[in-house]
Chains A and B, each alone.
Chain A
Amino acid sequence: MKIEDKKRVLREMVLHRRFEERCYQAYIERKIGGFLHLYPGQEACCNGVMEAARPGHDYVITGYRDHVHAIKCGADPKEVMAELYGKETGSSKGRGGSMHIFDAAHHFMGGYALVGGPFPLAAGIAKAIQLKGGDEIAICFLGDAANNQGVFHETLNMAALWKLPVLFVCENNLYGIGTSIERSTAVVHQHKRVAAYNIPADECDGQDIDIVYEHARKAVDHVRAGNGPFFLELMTYRYRGHSMSDSRGYRSREEEEVWKQRDPILMLRDRLITAGAMTMADYETIEKETDAYIENEVIKFAEESPEPRVEDLEKYVLADRESQQPWLTGKAA
Chain B
Amino acid sequence: MAQIMLWEAIQRAHDEEMSRDPLVICMGEDIGVAGGTYKATKGLYEKYGPLRVMDTPISEGGFTGLAIGASFLGVRPIVEIMSVNFAWLAMDQMFNSAAKIRYMSGGQLAAPCVFRSAGGAAHQLGAQHSARMEKVFMGIAGLRVVTPSNPKQAYGLLKSAIRCDDPVFINEHELMYNMKGEVPDGEYFHPLEGSEVARAGTDVTLFGYNISVHWCLKAAEILDKQYGISAEVVDLYSLSPLDRAGIKASVSKTHRVVIAEEDEAPVGVGSEVIAIINEECFFELDAAPVRVHSALVPQPYNHTLEKAAIPDHEDVVKAVLKLFGKA
Contact = CB atoms under 8 A, between A and B. Distances in A.
Interface of A: 59, 61, 90-96, 100, 102-105, 109-110, 112-114, 117, 119-132, 150-151, 154-155, 157-158, 161-162, 315-319, 323-324, 326-332
A330 B160 contact: yes
A323 B166 CA distance: 11
B107 A127 contact: no
Interface residues of B, number: 54
Interface string B56-68: 1101011111111
A125 B72 CA distance: 7
Nearest to B63: A158
B70 A117 contact: no
B105 interface: yes
A318 B142 contact: yes
B325 interface: no
B142 A127 contact: no
A316 B72 contact: no
Contacts of A157: 57, 59, 62
Contacts of B74: 128
B70 A124 contact: yes
Contacts of A90: 106
Contact of A125 (B70, B108, B141, B192): B70
B66 A120 contact: yes
A117 to B, nearest CB: 6
Nearest to A156: B62
B57 A128 contact: no
Interface in B12-28: 22-23, 25
Given A92-B105, A117-B97, A128 B72 contact: yes
25 contacts: A59-B73, A92-B105, A93-B106, A96-B104, A102-B106, A114-B92, A117-B92, A121-B66, A121-B69, A124-B71, A124-B75, A125-B73, A126-B69, A128-B75, A129-B73, A131-B22, A131-B25, A131-B52, A150-B62, A154-B57, A317-B141, A318-B144, A319-B110, A327-B192, A329-B193
A249 to B, nearest CB: 30
B70 A332 contact: no
A161 B193 CA distance: 39
A124 B61 CA distance: 12
Contacts of A122: 69
A182 B15 CA distance: 51
A96 B105 contact: yes
Nearest to B51: A131
Contacts of A154: 57, 59, 61-63
A113 B104 CA distance: 11
A319 B192 CA distance: 13
B197 interface: no
Nearest to B103: A316
Contacts of A109: 69, 72, 109
A29 B57 CA distance: 49
A130 B23 CA distance: 11
B187 interface: yes
B315 interface: no
B302 interface: no
B106 A324 contact: no
A120 B64 contact: yes
B246 interface: no
Interface in B171-216: 187, 189-193
A122 B106 CA distance: 20
B65 A128 contact: no
A77 to B, nearest CB: 17
A162 B56 CA distance: 10
Interface string B124-161: 00000000000000000110100000000000100011
Contacts of A158: 56-57, 59, 62-63, 66
B69 A331 contact: no
A125 B97 CA distance: 13
B47 interface: no
Given A328-B193, A330-B160, 14 more contacts: A96-B106, A109-B109, A120-B68, A121-B66, A124-B70, A130-B51, A131-B25, A151-B59, A316-B103, A319-B110, A324-B164, A326-B189, A327-B161, A332-B189
B163 interface: yes
Contact of A121 (B51, B65, B193): B65
A92 B166 contact: no
A132 B76 CA distance: 12
A114 B96 contact: yes
B218 interface: no
A316 B164 contact: no
Interface string B72-103: 11110000000000000000110011000111
B106 A95 contact: yes
Nearest to B143: A318
Nearest to A131: B75
Contacts of B190: 330
Nearest to A326: B189
Given A95-B103, A329-B191, A155 B66 contact: yes
Nearest to A127: B70
A324 B109 contact: no
B284 interface: no
Contacts of A318: 102, 142, 144, 166
Contacts of B166: 318-319, 324
Nearest to A92: B106
A119 B65 contact: yes
Contacts of A332: 187, 189
Contacts of A59: 73
Contacts of B141: 317
